[in-house]
Each structure stands twice: as structure tokens, then as C-alpha cells.
């Protein structure tokens, strides 16, 4: 059978890839770890959930999943994969936005220069309308629709709303405008609803994934973990038996800055100025401060240790380079003093954050730290 066809032959496979995001867990890796270290009916915890790959692996394999993600872009991807809305409802909401989009013509004309080079007038109106009206925090239909819009907000001109860009990372506005001008590139002329409808048709062609009772929280793990234990009982979910996660790496990249354009669609400012962005903060940067990074890892793993079962397994993928590796091992040993720590070296495969944003350290690869009672 054709590998591409077989890879997308089920709803679970089709929805697994929602959300371009650096430092993504490979789905096959998560599937294998969940299968090996968490029994069916058990619970998997990921306090640095990203776009929810580990959670999705658990939820589609008969396990429950609990995750926390600070970046709303990743949270929307993860929440949508775990519980997408009905396709027809999403389509109707999309058409409603198109009907109302003309009201945003003046606002679209007054947008900064970058947006005029990035999107056509019709697309700008549609995006502004969605930004204003979609209640993605509380409404599953609106959240599912904006997830599709975020995926295709920028990227190749043949597969996005935008002029030619990377899909995973938004370029700085001034650089982007100059780059487009030099090459004579213009945004694609597309009908945003017809464009999105094709994406919806493909994604929903096999239905929606069958998932267990699972949840991904939007917020800072240092706070959410403190209050999570009481929520488990109310939701009928047992304490986690597997902690599967990959914390941000020290000094590699700033996910909030790299996602500035998608964050704009979610209500952020129309530029990449870090100081003005409400999504920036203590735990949202590049982690160039060793002490703040150490405190984050120590707090998260210590609070996670109170939540998971005493005989639970801890599986952490991290950077092989320093100080990430040493600080991660220290935090884990402090939080789980009765567990034995095992190290598994993992060579780099593909465009990981280490290769793309690293400091040139020749010790390429990542490390899996596995703690067992």
C-alpha cells in the first residue's frame, strides 16, 4: 500500500498532525512510550504539552491524558485534536465570518505595512473578523475553526493565506517586507472560505478521532500543577502513572516570539515587539537565565511528583548539551529521589530545535531520561 495513503487511512492518523510547531515529539515515539509504560485505562501527564502530541497518543490508545501548555497556539492545537467540533458547525461558523468580514474593510486598510504585503485585502478582512468574533477559549466550534486558520495562517503560497513564508516560524515584519519586495512576491489571491473548506474536507474525511476522557490546560505548569489533584476526582480520572514530557531547552528559541503572527490572530499586538506582547513573561522566553530555568524545572517536576503515582514512570526527552542536561537531571533526581535514572542517547533526526537554533555544539542529538521506581 502507498505509505502516504496508509499513514492517513484513519481519523486518528489524520488529526495527529494538526499544528506546525518546532520541537514536536514524533508521534511514533510517543505511541511507543505510552504503549510500553502506561497500561490501558491509565493516565499520562505532560506539563510541557506543546501541541499535545503525547496527550493525543495516550487519548487515542485507551489511556487518559492530562497536559498543560503555556502558549495558546499549542494549546489550541492540542485541545482541538482531543475534541474537534462537528464539521458542519465549523463550516457554518466560517460562512458567518465571511458574511460579516466586509465590516472590517477600514481596519484592514489601516493595518501595518507588513499585513498588506502578507495578505490580500479579502483575507485581511476575514482574519480581522475572526480575531474579533471567535471565542476560541470557551467555544469548541470557534476553537476548531481558529485551529485550522492558525495552521494555514502563513507558509507556502500554495498552502496558506500568506505570501511566501516559513510555516513553523513567522518572520520579522521589516525583514519579511524587504524580502518580498526584492523578489517581487505578492500574497495569493484566494477565497478564505473555499480555501479552508478544502482543508476541512480532507481532515474530516475519515471522521474525528476516538479519544478518552482527557484535558489540556492553558496556563503555567508551576501554578496549574499545584491545583490539579483535586480536578482529577471531579473528572473521574485516576492519578497519572506515566509522566511523558520534553521541557523547553535552555537558550534555544522563544516560541512566543517565533509565533508572533499567530498570537496576533489570537488577540496579540500586530508586530513582533517582545516587550509589548502580553504573551511574553517569565517562563515564555528563550531561557538565557540559568537560575530562572533551574527554578522552572525544579518546581514543575517537584509538583508533578506529588501528582503521579508513587510507582509511576517518568520519561523526559531533553537536550544533550549543557546546561540543559545537567539542570534537567538535577531537577528530576531532586523530585524523584527514590527512582533510578537511566539515560538513552537519541541522535537527531530531521529539523529539531537543537539543530535549527543550537549554538554549534558538535554533540548533536537529544537524550531520554527514564526514571523507574
Confidence of residue 89 (pLDDT cuts 50, 70, 90): very high
**Quick one: pLDDT at residue 87?**
98
Q: Within a domain: residue 303?
A: yes
133-178 pLDDT, tens per residue? Answer: 999 999 999 999 999 999 999 999 999 999 999 998 999 999 999 9
275-308 pLDDT, tens per residue? Answer: 555 555 554 554 678 999 999 999 999 999 999 9
**Quick one: pLDDT at residue 364?**
66
Q: Within a domain: residue 226?
A: yes
Q: What is the mean pLDDT of the segment spanning 73-87? A: 97
305 shares a domain with 217: yes
User: Over pLDDT 90: what percentage of the chain?
Assistant: 76
Instruction: Indicate the number of domains in the chain.
Output: 2
Work out the number of other CB atoms within 10 angstroms of the CB of residue 157.
Answer: 16
Question: Rounded distance, CA 61 to CA 78, Å?
Answer: 16
Q: Residue 310's domain is classified under what CATH number?
A: 3.40.50.150
**Quick one: pLDDT at residue 113?**
98
Question: Rounded distance, CA 128 to CA 108, Å?
Answer: 7
Nearest-CA neighbor of 219 among 208, 207, 229, 227?
227
Whether the pLDDT of residue 17 is over 50: the answer is: yes
Q: What is the mean pLDDT of the segment spanning 180-202? A: 98
- Last-in-domain residue among 168, 203, 238: 203
Confidence of residue 365 (pLDDT cuts 50, 70, 90): confident
217 shares a domain with 305: yes
Whether the pLDDT of residue 236 is over 50: the answer is: yes
| Range with the poorest average pLDDT among 60-69, 181-190, 213-222, 343-352 | 343-352
Whether the pLDDT of residue 251 is over 90: the answer is: no
Q: What is the model's pTM?
A: 0.91
Confidence of residue 359 (pLDDT cuts 50, 70, 90): very low
Question: Rounded distance, CA 309 to CA 313, Å?
Answer: 9
364 shares a domain with 248: yes
Confidence of residue 7 (pLDDT cuts 50, 70, 90): confident
Question: Rounded distance, CA 346 to CA 358, Å?
Answer: 16
368 shares a domain with 233: yes
254-278 pLDDT, tens per residue? Answer: 667 889 999 999 999 999 886 555 5
Q: Within a domain: residue 183?
A: yes
CA 21 to the chain's CA centroid: 6
Q: Which three cell numbers stand for residue 311?
A: 510507582
348 shares a domain with 227: yes
103 shares a domain with 34: no
101 shares a domain with 77: no
Question: Rounded distance, CA 291 to CA 220, Å?
Answer: 17
366 shares a domain with 218: yes
Q: Within a domain: residue 41?
A: yes
Question: Rounded distance, CA 75 to CA 235, Å?
Answer: 19
Q: Within a domain: residue 282?
A: no
**Quick one: pLDDT at residue 256?**
73
166 shares a domain with 46: no
104 shares a domain with 171: yes
User: Hey, is 185 helix, strand or coil?
Assistant: coil
**Quick one: pLDDT at residue 254?**
61
Question: Rounded distance, CA 309 to CA 373, Å?
Answer: 10
Q: Within a domain: residue 264?
A: no
Q: Per DSSP, what are the bridge partners of residue 366?
A: 319, 346
98 shares a domain with 78: no
361 shares a domain with 237: yes
Give the domain range for residue 365: 3-82+210-252+287-372
Q: Within a domain: residue 281?
A: no
Amino acid at each position: 500500500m502507498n505509505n502516504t495513503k496508509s499513514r492517513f487511512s484513519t481519523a486518528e492518523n489524520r488529526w495527529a498532525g494538526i499544528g506546525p510547531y518546532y520541537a514536536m515529539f514524533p508521534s511514533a515515539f510517543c505511541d511507543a512510550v505510552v504503549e510500553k509504560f502506561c497500561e490501558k485505562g491509565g493516565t499520562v501527564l505532560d506539563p510541557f504539552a506543546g501541541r499535545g502530541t503525547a496527550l493525543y497518543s495516550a487519548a487515542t490508545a485507551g489511556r487518559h491524558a492530562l497536559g498543560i501548555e503555556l502558549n495558546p497556539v499549542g494549546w489550541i492545537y492540542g485541545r482541538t485534536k482531543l475534541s474537534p467540533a462537528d464539521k458542519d458547525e465549523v463550516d457554518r461558523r466560517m460562512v458567518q465570518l465571511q458574511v460579516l468580514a466586509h465590516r472590517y474593510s477600514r481596519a484592514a486598510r489601516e493595518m501595518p505595512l507588513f499585513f498588506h504585503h502578507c495578505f490580500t485585502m479579502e483575507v485581511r478582512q476575514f482574519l480581522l473578523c475572526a480575531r474579533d468574533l471567535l471565542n476560541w477559549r470557551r467555544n469548541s466550534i470557534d476553537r476548531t475553526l481558529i485551529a485550522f486558520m492558525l495552521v494555514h495562517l502563513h507558509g507556502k503560497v500554495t498552502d496558506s493565506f500568506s505570501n511566501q513564508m516559513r510555516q513553523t516560524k513567522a518572520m520579522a515584519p521589516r525583514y519579511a517586507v524587504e524580502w518580498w519586495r526584492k523578489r517581487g512576491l505578492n500574497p495569493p489571491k484566494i477565497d478564505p472560505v473555499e480555501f479552508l473548506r478544502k482543508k476541512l474536507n480532507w481532515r474530516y474525511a475519515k471522521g474525528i478521532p476516538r479519544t478518552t476522557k482527557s484535558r489540556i490546560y492553558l496556563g503555567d505548569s508551576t501554578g496549574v500543577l499545584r491545583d490539579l489533584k483535586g480536578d482529577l476526582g471531579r473528572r473521574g480520572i485516576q492519578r497519572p502513572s506515566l509522566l511523558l514530557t520534553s521541557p523547553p531547552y535552555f537558550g534555544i528559541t522563544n516560541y512566543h516570539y517565533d509565533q508572533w503572527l499567530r498570537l496576533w490572530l489570537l488577540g496579540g499586538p500586530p508586530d513582533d515587539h517582545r516587550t509589548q506582547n502580553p504573551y511574553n513573561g517569565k517562563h515564555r522566553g528563550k531561557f538565557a537565565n540559568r537560575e530562572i530555568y533551574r527554578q522552572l524545572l525544579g518546581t514543575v517536576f517537584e509538583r508533578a511528583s506529588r501528582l503521579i503515582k508513587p510507582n509511576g514512570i517518568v520519561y523526559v526527552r531533553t537536550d544533550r548539551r549543557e546546561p540543559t542536561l545537567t539542570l534537567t537531571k538535577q531537577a528530576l533526581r531532586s523530585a524523584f529521589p527514590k527512582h533510578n535514572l537511566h539515560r538513552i542517547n537519541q541522535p537527531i533526526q530531521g529539523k529539531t530545535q537543537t539543530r535549527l537554533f543550537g549554538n554549534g555544539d558538535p554533540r548533536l542529538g537529544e537524550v531520554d531520561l527514564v526514571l523507574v521506581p
